[in-house]
Amino acid sequence: MATRIIRRIWEIEDVPTDVTAAKLSDPTGTYGVKRNDTGAVVVADGAAMTKSGTGVYEYAFTDIVGVSYTAYVEFEYAGTFTYVEHDIAARAAEAGFQCDWNSLRVEIADFLGYPRDDSKWDADEEARLAAIIKSALLQVYFPRNVRPEMAYQWSWMRPATTIETVAPYSTGTVTVVDGVVTLDEDGTFPAWAAYGELTVDGETYTVDTLDGDNQVTLDDTSVDVDAGTSYSLARTIYDLDATFGGSFDGDLTYEPGADSLYPPVEVISDSMIRRMRQNDTSTGQPRYAAVRPATFSALVGQRWEITFQPTPNDVYELHGRSTVTPTMIDATNKYPLGGVPLSEVIVASCLAIAEQRLHDAKGFRTEQFETLLAAAIADDADAHVPDTLGYNADRSDGPAYHDTGAGGELYAFDGTIYYD
């Protein structure tokens, strides 16, 4: 079984737009998702979909290999109901070539002389197998752990990443006394308020804590503002996914728009962002971003966050590729990174670690693993590293020299495109 995602976007004139309600429901009100072979209902009629972005709605369910499904999405917009059929093709069975949690444990157990039947392993043996798999995966994911000269970043450890910003919040009015901001009954501070900056009476202040639905405390506790004052709360910091590895592979790009063309968001150092924000706390379309480590917590481990300049003034969807922090496999999350091409390398790595711990020395299994690892690195580099970075045509000393970079950067405002 695997998780299948039903994803639909509601658009008005090619612009993603939020609807009043989105749920799974066929026109007869019989089912949300049904099997095509038996007609059995697998998701009941009326199941609510989750909003994952402006106008974007999703629902996840567990499928069965070899079975196709039919789903209907019911959108309610402007008092009108629209039904969209969603066909879900049958998923083929696994090819069986990829190693997984169970197969790796059996391979190691066989090498160590344990029974191949996992029901006969005791708790110590299971713990030993798990520890070997952990070390084996780490030396595949990070080849520098094998030998420093083998340091390499795998293409499959730089997955696509999407970041969605939020628009500033300004519902209601506020009162500020000694840096404590109280929101009137018309509004509720968003959950991200502690990551924000409050602009009130023409000044901008960083938020220290979110104290409740209607109260935040500023870092500057000398601030006082009369009741009924309008404000704007903009989010400056965004948490990155727990698997984010600490860096992006180049700049971030905007989602293509219907009539807007935005330049990339340049990823720069955190110190440069902080210097910019000393003199400019305005909001706008982000042009720069910086990744930095979040305050460390031993409870959750190392996490990362991203900040922008200017602070986002709207919802923007940004795309890029980032390094990944791998997670340990287990009986539920059973597949390691790398897929089928790396399966034999991972098996060899497990046996190499088992060999070293059993004999306290490197031997044939370690040598075999290092040979397979070097070949896998060469294959990955050949498939994903460009053969050339382009033609270096420096004509600065020629008679017809001109700055080919000038005028190359694009901007858009109110549907008009501008060039630097």
The pLDDT of residue 269 is 94
Structural contact between residues 244 and 322, judged by C-beta atoms closer than 8 angstroms: yes
- Predicted confidence at residue 346, as pLDDT, reads 97
Q: Which amino acid is at 169?
A: Y
Neighbours of 340 (CB within 10 A): 11
* Residue entry with tokens 């860096």: 247
- Matching residue, tokens 């990362």: 304
> Domains of the chain: which residue ranges?
3-88, 101-154+337-384, 174-230
Report how far residue 197's alpha carbon sits from residue 311's, in angstroms, rounded to the nearest whole number: 9
Give pLDDT, residue 404. Answer: 43
Measured between alpha carbons, how far is residue 216 from residues 181, 202, 213 in Å? Answer: 5, 18, 8
- For strand 11-12 and strand 15-16, is the pairing parallel, antiparallel, or unpaired? antiparallel
> Tell me, what amino acid is at 248?
F
Inter-residue contact 382 to 157 (CB < 8 Å) = no
CA-angle at 74, arms to 71 and 77, nearest 5°: 155
Query: For 231-272, what is each residue's pLDDT tens digit?
Result: 999 999 999 988 899 999 889 998 766 346 678 899 999 999
Instruction: Tell me how far apart the alpha carbons of residues 65 and 35 are, in angstroms, rounded to a whole number.
Output: 12
66-83 CB burial, b ≥16 within 10 A, e <16: ebebebbbbbebeeeeee
- Of the candidates 380, 381, 384, 377, the one whose C-alpha atom is nearest the C-alpha of residue 147 is 377
Neighbours of 179 (CB within 10 A): 17
Q: What is the mean pLDDT of residues 136-162?
A: 94
Query: Confidence class of residue 300 from pLDDT cuts 50, 70 and 90?
Result: confident
The CA–CA distances, whole Å, from 252 to 76, 175, 398 equal 34, 38, 35
Question: Confidence class of residue 44 from pLDDT cuts 50, 70 and 90?
Answer: very high
In angstroms, the CA 148 to CA 129 distance is 26
How much is the pLDDT for 419? 52
Phi and psi dihedrals of 61, rounded to 5? -145, 165
Query: Collapsing DSSP states into helix, strand and coil, what is residue 85?
Result: strand
402 pLDDT tier (thresholds 50, 70, 90) = very low
Residue 14 has a pLDDT of 80
**Do residues 23 and 84 touch, judged by C-beta distance below 8 A?**
no
Over residues 22-47, mean pLDDT = 95
Residues of the chain above pLDDT 90, percent: 69
What would the pLDDT profile of 64-115 be if each residue is shown by its tens digit?
878 899 999 999 999 999 999 989 888 766 557 889 999 999 999 999 999 9
Question: pLDDT band at 396, cuts 50/70/90?
Answer: low
Distance CA 54, CA 9 (A): 8
